[in-house]
Amino acid sequence: MDVLIIIAAVAAIFFILKIAFKVLKTVLLLGVAVLVLYYLVEFGFLKGLF
């Protein structure tokens, strides 16, 4: 019985980490995109657009 609980816990942790990694990757990609956009605006590359 204990072995089943341990296997279920490991599987749950694995799936939670997998989902957390996807969320983290998305957040990092958005952060990089915002940073690039900020630098483009800051250094005047997008002055014609705004």
pLDDT single digits (tens) 1-50: 799 999 999 999 999 999 999 999 999 999 999 999 888 888 877 666 65
The 10 Å Cβ neighbour count of residue 13 is: 10
- Expressed as residue numbers, the domain containing 6 is 1-50
pLDDT (0 to 100) of residue 50: 55
pLDDT (0 to 100) of residue 47: 66
- Considering its fold, how many domains does the chain have in total? 1
DSSP classification of residue 1: -
pLDDT (0 to 100) of residue 35: 94
pLDDT (0 to 100) of residue 45: 72
Place of tokens 């942790």: 13
| Phi, psi (rounded to 5 degrees) for 43 | -95, 10
